[in-house]
Copies of this chain bind each other. A is one copy, B any other.
């Protein structure tokens, strides 16, 4: 029973159908009718004019955005546990030509406006130290915590004051929004976000993520960088089709709600073991080694996350029966 990650979840049947349905002759790359609908569809969702690009991975979305927001000789403020620092193989430096990740601390892998302000203040303003050009935050965070619009707004204000761009890694933004009920606009551009990696693959997509630019003037550069990095697929219609299927009828939100509900069921069953409150679809639990072994023996698959901690991740397609079994198992550990 899979709880090790949502990144291997199935693609939603409607996504597969949409791919099949788009398998007709059309123009290549992103000149097709479906790709051309993306800007409009996401502009509607975000209640402002955006430019939207399909890419195949969150790493690509993050790194293309950061390369457009930060020159090679400057830096990106992010949390020490951020995915771009820990799990993207140095991609941000590669895409940007050398930009440095400047690492900050903060509980639950979240940044605060104060932490950003303080980090900026500690950097000498000379040519010897790398000067920051951007901030990147992850929502939901690596530990499944959620930024409220007010928190992002506070960071956005530091960004504006300091002349920094603001990027959001929203690999699990759907789960965050499903929890807060806030609008996509409020937690992004209205709060000062310039570019968003909007995740779909963990949430029912097959291999299409969305890079959303709230500053449309960046689109030309991003379009070239996407091609240059080998990310301009020739049958782009099958990428756009996935995103449109996910947006259609708010499938993305329904899927995120299902994943979150499963996580809440597990959280209830293991409330006293929680390292962090469960705000999205990830649970971090305290457990002894023998307890972990017992769970594995019952067929549950999950990650050990440092000594004495386990990570469980639910997804849109988490098997309800497996969730029930895991909840029961956690309750009787």
Which residues of A are in contact with B by a Cβ distance under 8 Å?
Answer: 2, 5, 7-11, 16, 19-20, 23-29, 32, 55-57, 59-64, 71-75, 86-91, 93-95, 97-100, 127-131, 201-202, 206-207, 221, 223-235, 238-239, 317
Contacts and interface: CB of A to CB of B under 8 A. Distances in A.
A256 B95 CA distance: 35
20 contacts: A8-B26, A11-B235, A56-B207, A56-B230, A56-B233, A57-B234, A59-B227, A61-B230, A72-B90, A72-B94, A73-B224, A74-B90, A87-B129, A93-B99, A93-B100, A95-B230, A98-B98, A98-B228, A128-B227, A201-B234
B23 A8 contact: no
B89 A94 contact: no
A174 to B, nearest CB: 15
A28 B7 CA distance: 6
Given A71-B221, A94-B228, A234-B57, A89 B207 contact: no
Nearest to A228: B89
Contacts of A26: 8
A130 B92 CA distance: 12
Contacts of A20: 16
B25 A227 contact: no
A29 B231 CA distance: 17
Contact of A228 (B56, B86, B91, B202): B91
A90 B100 contact: yes
A57 B94 contact: no
Contacts of A207: 56, 207, 233-235, 238-239
A73 B227 CA distance: 10
A51 to B, nearest CB: 14
Given A7-B28, A11-B238, A89-B130, A59 B94 contact: no
Contacts of A201: 233-235
